[in-house]
Amino acid sequence: MFSRFPGARLKVNRADKHLRELAADIKRFNKSNAYSVSFEPHHKAGEYVFRVYVDRPPPTIEWGIVIGDVVHNLRSALDQLVWEMADSESGPAPEGRIARSSPWHDVGFPIVTDPSHWKDAAKKIVRVGPRYSAAFESLQPWFRREAEPLRDPLAILQELSNRDKHRAVNLTIGYVRLVDFQTFGYRWHLMSEATLGPLEDQAEIARVRVEDPDFDPAEMDVYFHDSLDVTFREGEPAYGEPVIRLLDRLEQEVVRIIWKFQSL
């Protein structure tokens, strides 16, 4: 795939490799008995809580570093796309160190959320030629999601990339959620579920109430399934969306964009 853009393809492949490794590592942690969830009676009659007991916290800093590798390669794939297009349209591209005064110095994929910044950002694609300008403009977050440009996949990718390069590791949190719960023979009501937050020992992740006033706790047969997931901390782009799902979405978006120019 991407026969016109082998460099962009290699960057996407590298990002995908890191993403699959991260997904596998999170899955291994889920199966490692690093935490357990118990179903316990609450002091209020008829109420029960699901409580998590943590033996080993998730390695969120290490996962954040791998997330940075994924993000870096996806963002670099877009820049590589533009470089290869520029080389084809107005090359050959220079090799070695590029002087700041060279028109090739700032070649890259522009991503802006404010239309007033587009004129300056578009200088990055001057070497690509005018026939592609409209296509690049149509991909901008301000163009595609005028009401919420910061929620556009490219805006999220850009922000994560900037944070990883210039500020800090993209901090993540591990949290346990209740996937399924059943009490055979009794009616029940889910009263509350914990909001996203760091995985803490003895934290309550859900509370239920058994509706049948004649229930016998000793005879209640309970089935539940829990799962650990990972998201970005509050304040980070796409807070609340599972990391693997988000990164996979960003990768698909980058692949879609490269295919777009492959076919032009």
| Model confidence pLDDT, tens digit, residues 49-80 | 889 999 998 898 899 899 999 999 999 999 99
3-state secondary structure (DSSP) of residue 101: coil
Decide if 33 is inside a domain. yes
Strand partners, 193: 206
Are 224 and 181 within 8 A, CB to CB? yes
pLDDT at 212: 73
Are 188 and 209 within 8 A, CB to CB? yes
Cα–Cα distances (Å) from 143 to 135, 138, 152, in that order, read 11, 6, 10
Spatial separation of the C-alpha atoms in residues 126 and 122, rounded to whole Å:
7
The pTM assigned to this predicted structure is: 0.87
If you ran DSSP here, which 8-state letter would residue 50 be given? E
> Whole-number mean pLDDT of the chain?
87
Decide if 99 is inside a domain. no
Give the residue numbers spanning the domain of 48. 6-94+105-262
Q: Domain count for the chain, please give it.
A: 1
Strand partners, 190: 208
Task: Tell whether the model's pLDDT for residue 115 goes beyond 90.
Answer: yes
